[in-house]
Amino acid sequence: MNEIQYILGVGNSNSPLKIVLQNLSSCLVWQPFDERSVEFVKCFAQKLLTTKGIRQYPELVALGHWFRGANLKQLIKNYPAETENSLVLGRGLAFHIAPSNVDSVFMYSWLLSLLAGNTNIVRVSQKMSDAQTFLINILAETLNECVGKPIQERIVLLTYPHNTSITQEISEACLIRIVWGGNSTVQAIRSIPLRPTATEICFPDRFSICAIRADSMLKLNIEEQNRLAANFYKDAFWFAQQACSSPRLITWVGDEKTIQQAQEQFWNALNIEIATHPIENSEAMNMARINASFEYAGVALAKPTGNKGLEIEYPLKLQLECPLQETIKNIHCGNGLFLENRVHQLTDLAIQLSDKEQTLTTFGFTKDELKEFILNLPPRAVDRIVKIGDALSFAPIWDGQDLIVAFSRKILLS
């Protein structure tokens, strides 16, 4: 077990995992939004937002903003810890397996679990990014302050190479397991049994889409187009399209002529927006886009837009040649590759979707149109419909599951 590297919490480099798990499991569970957890989270969020250098990590700004005091007050109101006939408590030890492609996800997962009343052990990737290092430093500072003392014994942040025996030992001790990762990761972890009374939440690979009503796009003035492009940039480029909620397909809704005009204006505005940011386009990202493009072309699923053939550009746009299908989603690599298709009405998109779709970002549709779209969806397709610019905005209901409810249990009291 010496492969384990303890980063924060009750463990140290010489701690046997068995003892660490015993210490975490021996802690009493708290009721949701215990004052000690709320004060810690508020302090952490404030410290994060006021630390020098935070502006270079917009995703961490979003994290701090989401856990600010005002938002916590609303959560407390939405999730009462006690009713006349019931009492809500955390489940116990929660085991979080964080993804390697989105630095801040493990913090949303852990902080919500902490607020729900649980003790937590979090396994992060060994590929530590600058943003993750920045985040962990702020977390360590907060834990070392007075407000962090009650939390220190309720958290272990660690990393280790892929090791089934370590994951199994932690899984046997936990009462809820939260898995963020690709399908292969989820399947591998699910093969490791939990104790009979434990539960599990998995967040596997998903595919997200942006739908734009073409005639609404054309009604925008230049300033409004630029604002829309800036919001789309935030959705798609922050994590190089690796976030499950980042759009990989843009569906244009309307007639052919209107769509053509809207596409030209949209991409012109987006290229202007891209030019205002440092370009994140490595050789590996470039090759991934090209390889995916050849793969699409080889099976006649998508082709370059226009008449010029495949151009090595960033972002790279491809036009779908058939209805959306599973192979199309599986080939997509992110990294600035955008598929496009055209439909006459939004419900024409609904019937092409599956349980793989997570987020639909939209522009130009009425609430009634979106409701009609939802009523025409196949089972389990699409968990979120939000405006362009809100794809990465976190909510306690994620992938169709209320995380505060899932992280806690209700005890009937008569």
Strand 384-387, strand 357-363: pairing: parallel
What one-letter code names the amino acid at 386? V
Is residue 5 packed enough to be buried (19+ CB in 10 Å), middle (13-18) or exposed (0-12)? middle
pLDDT at residue 318 tops 60: yes
pLDDT of 308 reads 64
The class of domain 207-387 in CATH terms is alpha beta
- CA pair distance 110, 120, nearest whole angstrom: 7
- Identify which has the larger pLDDT, 310 or 127: 127
pLDDT of 58 reads 86
Q: Which residues contact 257 (CB under 8 A, 6 or more apart)?
A: none
Q: How far is CA 171 from CA 29, 41, 182, in A?
A: 18, 26, 19
Q: Which residues contact 77 (CB under 8 A, 6 or more apart)?
A: none
Inter-residue contact 332 to 250 (CB < 8 Å): no
Q: Which residues of 121-147 are buried (b: 16+ CB within 10 A; e: fewer)?
A: bbbbbeeeeebbebbbebbeebbeeeb
In this structure, which long-range contacts are made by residues 227-231, counting pairs with CB atoms below 8 Å and at least 24 apart in sequence?
A: 228/266, 228/269, 228/363, 228/388, 229/266, 229/269, 229/270, 229/272, 229/273, 230/273, 230/389, 231/387, 231/388, 231/389
Give the model confidence (pLDDT) of 325-364 as tens digits: 999 999 999 999 999 999 999 999 999 999 999 999 999 9
Give the model confidence (pLDDT) of 1-13 as tens digits: 578 999 998 766 6
Look at the chain and count its residues. 414
pLDDT of 13 reads 64
pLDDT of 309 reads 61
CATH 3.40.190.10 is right for the domain spanning 5-205+399-412? no
pLDDT at residue 189 tops 80: yes
Compute CA 170 distance to the chain's CA centroid, rounded to the nearest angstrom: 24
Q: Which residues contact 286 (CB under 8 A, 6 or more apart)?
A: 312, 314, 335
Same fold: 5-205+399-412 with 207-387: no
Q: Half-sphere exposure of 271 toward its Cβ, with a 13 Å CA cutoff?
A: 11
For the chain, the domains span 5-205+399-412, 207-387
Give the model confidence (pLDDT) of 81-137 as tens digits: 998 899 999 999 999 999 877 767 778 999 999 999 999 999 998 888 888 999 999
DSSP string, 214-254: HHHHHT--HHHHHHHHHHHHHHHHTTTT-STTSEEEEEEES
Q: Nearest CA to 396 among 387, 404, 385?
A: 404
Inter-residue contact 94 to 174 (CB < 8 Å): yes
Question: Is the overall model pTM greater than 0.85, yes or no?
Answer: yes
Give the model confidence (pLDDT) of 139-160 as tens digits: 999 999 999 999 999 999 999 9
Structure confidence at residue 316 as a pLDDT band (50, 70, 90)? very high
Q: What's the mean per-residue pLDDT of the chain?
A: 93
Structure confidence at residue 195 as a pLDDT band (50, 70, 90)? very high
Inter-residue contact 241 to 288 (CB < 8 Å): no
Mean pLDDT of 391-404: 91
